[in-house]
């Protein structure tokens, strides 16, 4: 009995600590992957080793598990579509949410003598040795989606989302709505993740700077729709008035809207409460189209075309820029079109 209680207590403390101190966890996607199973399967796409088609560019792609989130699924689908035989690539894919497994895959790809190693690292640290090996073997490394703590000379280029910019775009849009007073319910993602920090930072700065911007409630729902619903419900129950919901992803915005619906509070274009989300899920953009929500910020998962351009440049002997920040849009319900939903929904 003692043992079991001790175990539970230890678990509680450990969970508490984990939740407090995961600031070094780079999570640019809109999903928490702590409990997510690690996808360990490697998959060969068009991998005829002795095919003899020497004009194909051989790439090894290491990504996070596509099950992790809608963002990752879209990201993986985009890469699969671009790096195929029709486009002149002989690509192998490997997936893991664990850094050590990813490093193992990287070593495998280097042994297979790929021309390019494309990497979305699970963790920022621990890549120096394997990237040095790659450099020695003449494998060119391109980072996408996530950066790592390694000497920039070890990779050719890195393609990243600027989370701070995403937050700023959204906050600027909100400021442009010209409300006399901003009473914001701020629903945060998993604390410490890159997406949370970028999206929270911009709002925090604005609230501090402007007298008529107030945060009614700032709480983490850990990317979880239902927790967001409970948080908004608790504000409604306490009778505090608010006119903006700033949710750091679409799921949480959806949960917040469910609470508003239940309480009979109108939301959307020209209504009582402005609803803002992030990530541009297709269903979320459809809510914008129906004018139920007001704004959705993009976190661009479509990096394949950028990578393709870099590889073309390198093949032509040009040196690409080291850090490439992708274009990210913010959609306004007043101006969004069906074409936007089809093109940018993930």
Partner 1 sequence: MSNNDTKAPANKFLTVVKKVVSHQMFIPIMALLILAIVNLAFDPNFFKITLGKNNAGNPILSGPLITILDYGAETAILAIGMTLVTAAAGGQDISVGATIAIAGSAMLRVLCGTNPSPDTIQAPIIVAFLVACLVGMACGAFNGALVSFFKIQPMIATLILFTAGRSIAAWINLNKLPVVPDPKFAYFGGIIPGIPVPTPIFIMIACVLIMALILKFTNLGLYTQSVGINEKSAKLNGINPILIKFIAFVILGLCVAVAALIKVSRISTINYSVIAKDIEMDAILAVALGGNALSGGKFNMWASILGAYVFQFLTTTLYKFNIASSALPAYKATVVILLVFFSAPKVRETIGKGFKKLKESIGKSSKGAAGKASEGEA
Residue pair 117/62 in contact by the 8 Å Cβ criterion: yes
Percent helix, strand and coil across the chain, each to the nearest 5 = 45, 20, 40
Q: With respect to partner 1, which residue has the nearer C-beta, 31 or 142?
A: 31
- What mask, x for binding partner 1 by CB under 8 A, covers residues 162 to 201? --------------------------x--xx---------
Work out which of 85, 282, 308, 309 binds partner 1, going by CB under 8 A.
Answer: 282
Binding partner 1 (rule: CB under 8 A), the pick from 85, 205, 217, 329 is: 217
Looking at 45, 233, 313, 340, which residue binds partner 1 (CB under 8 A)?
233
The one among 70, 167, 198, 277 contacting partner 1 by CB under 8 A: 70
Q: Is 81 in the site for partner 1 (CB under 8 A)?
A: no
Q: Which stretch binds partner 1 (CB under 8 A): 54-62, 252-260, 293-301, 324-332?
A: 252-260
Q: Which one of the spans 52-60, 105-113, 213-221, 301-309 is the region binding partner 1 (CB under 8 A)?
A: 213-221
The single residue among 96, 281, 294, 303 that binds partner 1, judged by CB under 8 A, is 281
- Based on the shown chain and the rule CB under 8 A, indicate whether residue 24 belongs to the binding site for partner 1: no
Lookup: tokens for 316: 């032509």
Each residue of 227-241: b (16+ CB within 10 Å) or e? bbbebbbebbeeeee
185 in helix, strand or coil?
strand
Work out whether 73 is an interface residue with partner 1 (CB under 8 A).
Answer: yes
185 — phi, psi (to 5°)? -95, 115
| 99 or 218: CB nearest partner 1 | 218
Q: Pairing between strand 89-95 and 42-44?
A: antiparallel
Told to check if 239 binds partner 1 by CB under 8 A, we report: yes
- Residue 80 in the binding site for partner 1 (CB under 8 A): no
Among 133, 162, 204, 226, binds partner 1 (CB under 8 A): 226
**Closest alpha carbon to 144 in 199, 206, 83, 192:** 83
- In a 13 Å sphere around the CA of 334, the CA atoms on its Cβ side amount to 7
Count CB neighbours of 10 within 10 A.
Answer: 10
Pick 30 or 103: Cβ nearer partner 1? 30
Measure the CA–CA gap between 322 and 306, rounded to whole angstroms.
Answer: 13
Q: Which of 25, 26, 28, 31 contacts partner 1 by CB under 8 A?
A: 31
Options 94, 143, 207, 225; binder of partner 1; rule CB under 8 A: 225
Q: Is 317 helix (H, G, I), strand (E, B) or coil?
A: coil
| Cα separations in angstroms, 155 against 94, 105, 163, 309, 314 | 19, 17, 22, 16, 12
Cα–Cα distance measured from residue 277 to residue 269, given in angstroms and rounded to the nearest whole number: 14
Neighbours of 119 (CB within 10 A): 29
Q: Give me the residues that bind partner 1 (CB under 8 A), please.
A: 1-2, 4-5, 8-9, 11-13, 15-16, 19-20, 31-33, 35-37, 39, 65-70, 73, 188, 191-192, 217-220, 222-226, 229-231, 233-234, 236-239, 251, 254-255, 258, 260-266, 281-283
């Amino acid at each position: 009995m003692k043992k079991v209680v001790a175990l539970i207590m230890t678990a509680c403390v450990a969970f508490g600590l984990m939740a407090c101190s995961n600031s070094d966890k780079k999570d640019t996607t809109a999903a928490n992957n702590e409990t997510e199973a690690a996808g360990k399967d490697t998959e060969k796409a068009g991998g005829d080793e002795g095919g003899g088609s020497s004009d194909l560019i051989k790439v090894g792609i290491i990504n996070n598990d596509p099950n992790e989130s809608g963002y990752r699924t879209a990201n993986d689908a985009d890469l699969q579509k671009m790096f195929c035989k029709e486009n002149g690539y002989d690509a192998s894919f490997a997936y893991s949410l664990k850094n050590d497994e990813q490093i193992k895959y990287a070593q495998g790809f280097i042994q297979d003598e790929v021309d390019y190693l494309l990497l979305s690292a699970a963790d920022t640290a621990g890549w120096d040795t394997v990237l040095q090996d790659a450099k020695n073997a003449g494998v060119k490394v391109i980072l996408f989606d996530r950066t790592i703590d390694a000497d920039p000379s070890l990779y050719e280029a890195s393609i990243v989302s600027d989370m701070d910019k995403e937050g700023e775009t959204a906050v600027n849009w909100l400021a442009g709505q010209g409300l006399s007073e901003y009473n914001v319910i701020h629903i945060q993602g998993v604390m410490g993740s890159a997406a949370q920090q970028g999206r929270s930072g911009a709002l925090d700065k604005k609230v501090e700077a402007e007298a008529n911007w107030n945060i009614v409630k700032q709480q983490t729902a850990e990317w979880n729709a239902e927790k967001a619903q409970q948080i908004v419900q608790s504000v409604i129950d306490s009778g505090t008035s608010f006119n903006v919901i700033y949710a750091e992803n679409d799921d949480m915005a959806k949960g917040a809207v469910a609470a508003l619906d239940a309480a009979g509070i109108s939301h959307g274009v020209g209504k009582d409460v402005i609803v803002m989300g992030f990530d541009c899920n297709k269903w979320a953009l459809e809510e914008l189209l129906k004018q139920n929500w007001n704004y959705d910020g993009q976190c661009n998962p479509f990096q394949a075309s950028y990578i393709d351009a870099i590889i073309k440049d390198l093949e032509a002997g040009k040196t690409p820029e080291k850090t490439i920040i992708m274009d990210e849009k913010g959609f306004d319900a007043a101006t969004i079109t069906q074409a936007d939903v089809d093109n940018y929904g993930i």
